[in-house]
Copies of this chain bind each other. A is one copy, B any other.
Amino acid sequence: MKIGVIGLGKMGTGMASNLIKAGHEVTVFNRTATAMEPVVALGARGTSSVAEACCGDAVITMLANDAAVEAVGFAEDGILSALPKGGIHISSSTISAALSERLTKAHQEHGQGYVAAPVFGRPEAAAAGKLFVVAAGSEATIADCQPLFDAIGQKTFVIGQTPKAANIVKLSGNFLIASVIEALGEAMALVGKAGIDQRQYLDLLTSTLFDAPVYRTYGTLIVEKKFSPAGFAAPLGLKDINLALSAAQDLKVPMPLASLLHDRFLALLAQGGEALDWSAIAALAARDSGDLSASLP
């Protein structure tokens, strides 16, 4: 397929690379042009405008937040105006359910397709083509996109025909991960202050009931206090919890644990944690317990 990719951060670069490897004809655009170089070296065509990246069958956006997606979507020469009728916008960014809904309507009015297809997986998974794709949109459109999802991911979960449902799944998934971080943070503060070896404790957890990637990955970061460099930065954590709380508010669903996470991320940023991995909220439980070694950089 002829496919555009807009947004070549760590995630977008991995995705574009795998699309190229799978034989698709890939055109890319990134605001900072140098970020396109690695994929251009692999065979992508670099462009200097959003519109040029919208000349194929579909265009994938993988951007930082609502504002960025809104900008490339609704701008004068943006996706809505540049994408041909029948073209598909695949929105893989972690954005709000509300923006996803606006895009759904706008693309429908322009005779274009729209699929929300956020992904689970950190940059290494994107590079390896091992993402999990969570897709929602009309059946026919999803079917058209399947070869692309196969190229970037190890499995696709089709959530339904309403695109924003995929966004809510993604946001609630990030909420669940952050919940694991908070729970581990509190448990580690407790066992740590009790003089128990934290690494041994983590081994026990992950070889019994908590034998899951998320416990191993984040548990290790917490035990080693290795919050830098950030795999997923704290401000993005706050952003995603805010988006989950916002979707929850629209649906009138109180989520007290999400509120607690909101407060934790805010405290982390207020205390100089801007550049840390989002798992650094786990250090706040230790710090509140008077553990001075838990003071943030």
A120–B209 CB distance below 8 A: yes
Q: With a CB–CB cut-off of 8 A, which chain B residues contact A187? A: 172-173, 175-176
Q: With a CB–CB cut-off of 8 A, which chain B residues contact A242? A: 249
Is chain A's interface secondary structure helix, strand, loop, or mixed overall?
Answer: helix
B254–A270 CB distance below 8 A: yes
**Which residue of the partner chain, among B132, B190, B214, B249, contacts A247 with CB atoms under 8 Å?**
B190
Does A189 have its Cβ within 8 Å of any Cβ on chain B?
Answer: yes
Interface residues of A in 177-192 (CB under 8 A from B): 177, 179-180, 182-184, 186-187, 189-191
Task: Determine the distance from Cα of A218 to Cα of B176 in the docked complex, in whole angstroms.
Answer: 14
Q: With a CB–CB cut-off of 8 A, which chain B residues contact A134? A: 204
Q: With a CB–CB cut-off of 8 A, which chain B residues contact A120? A: 208-209
Report if A193-B251 is in contact (Cβ < 8 Å); known contacts: A175-B187, A209-B212, A212-B211.
yes
B169–A191 CB distance below 8 A: yes
Number of interface residues of A (CB under 8 A): 75
Task: Determine the distance from Cα of A204 to Cα of B200 in the docked complex, in whole angstroms.
Answer: 30
A288–B270 CB distance below 8 A: yes
Task: Determine the distance from Cα of A168 to Cα of B198 in the docked complex, in whole angstroms.
Answer: 12
Q: With a CB–CB cut-off of 8 A, which chain B residues contact A193? A: 251-253
Tell me the minimal C-beta distance from A26 to chain B in angstroms: 26
Does A201 have its Cβ within 8 Å of any Cβ on chain B?
Answer: yes
Q: With a CB–CB cut-off of 8 A, which chain B residues contact A263? A: 254-256, 259, 288
A254–B289 CB distance below 8 A: yes
Does A146 have its Cβ within 8 Å of any Cβ on chain B?
Answer: no
**Which residue of the partner chain, among B173, B201, B267, contacts A288 with CB atoms under 8 Å?**
B267
B270–A197 CB distance below 8 A: no
B213–A169 CB distance below 8 A: no
Does A272 have its Cβ within 8 Å of any Cβ on chain B?
Answer: yes
B159–A252 CB distance below 8 A: no
Report if A269-B255 is in contact (Cβ < 8 Å); known contacts: A176-B184, A191-B168, A215-B212.
no
B212–A251 CB distance below 8 A: no
Q: With a CB–CB cut-off of 8 A, which chain B residues contact A257? A: 182-183, 186, 257, 260
Interface residues of A in 200-255 (CB under 8 A from B): 200-201, 203-205, 207-215, 242, 244, 247-249, 251-255
